[in-house]
Amino acid sequence: MNYTFKDFIRCINHLMPETWERNRWSYITYIAFLTQYDISRRLIFKKAVKYIHNGELISKTSFYIGEFLVIQSKDIEEIEHEEIFGEYSIPRSVEERIKTIIDRYRNYKGWQISLEIRRMLNLTLEKWIDYRGMDVDEYLYLERYKLRHKEI
């Protein structure tokens, strides 16, 4: 099934309409990022899983270390308010991944998710300053995360 980035965002909004009442774009961006990546750090090993569907990113967008937010997406910044509402068509496996992330982070506030993402990425203030504007995949590579793709 072919779907668009707007379908992906509409699915998030449909499954968790209260995101619009929160800090809108930052919250949606964080949920989209956490749906796209599963990142873990242990004492020695740093791993990241990047989810794909039919060879494409499940979120249909790429993420970068942001200027104002920890993580940003150019595509999210270009969506108009009314575009996140409406019908969507998305594969069941992608929708299930979104549901899993929403269930995990539903009670978090935007700043709490931001802290969690910074912890996952080990993104200190110094690193944030050095890496602002950098694609997340490049950051993961430079920080020696083992990145693998997982088809869903």
Tell me the per-residue pLDDT of 20-46, one tens digit each, with 9 for 90 and over.
555 567 888 899 999 999 998 876 789
Q: What is the per-residue pLDDT for 25?
A: 73
Cα 107 to Cα 94: distance, rounded to the nearest angstrom: 21
The CA-CA-CA angle for residues 20, 102, 8, to 5°, reads 65
Please state, as a whole number, how many other Cβ atoms lie within 10 Å of the Cβ of residue 85.
13
Please state, as a whole number, how many other Cβ atoms lie within 10 Å of the Cβ of residue 130.
12
Range of the domain at 112: 5-151
Q: How many CA atoms lie within 13 A of 24 on its CB side?
A: 10
Residue 147: what are its φ and ψ, rounded to 5°? -100, 130
Cα 126 to Cα 134: distance, rounded to the nearest angstrom: 14
What is the overall mean pLDDT for the chain? Answer: 88
Residue 93, amino acid: S
Q: How much is the pTM?
A: 0.90
Cα 33 to Cα 109: distance, rounded to the nearest angstrom: 15
Q: What is the per-residue pLDDT for 41?
A: 80
Say if residue 82's pLDDT is above 70: no
How many domains would you assign to the chain? 1
Tell me the per-residue pLDDT of 96-126, one tens digit each, with 9 for 90 and over.
999 999 999 988 888 899 899 999 999 998 9
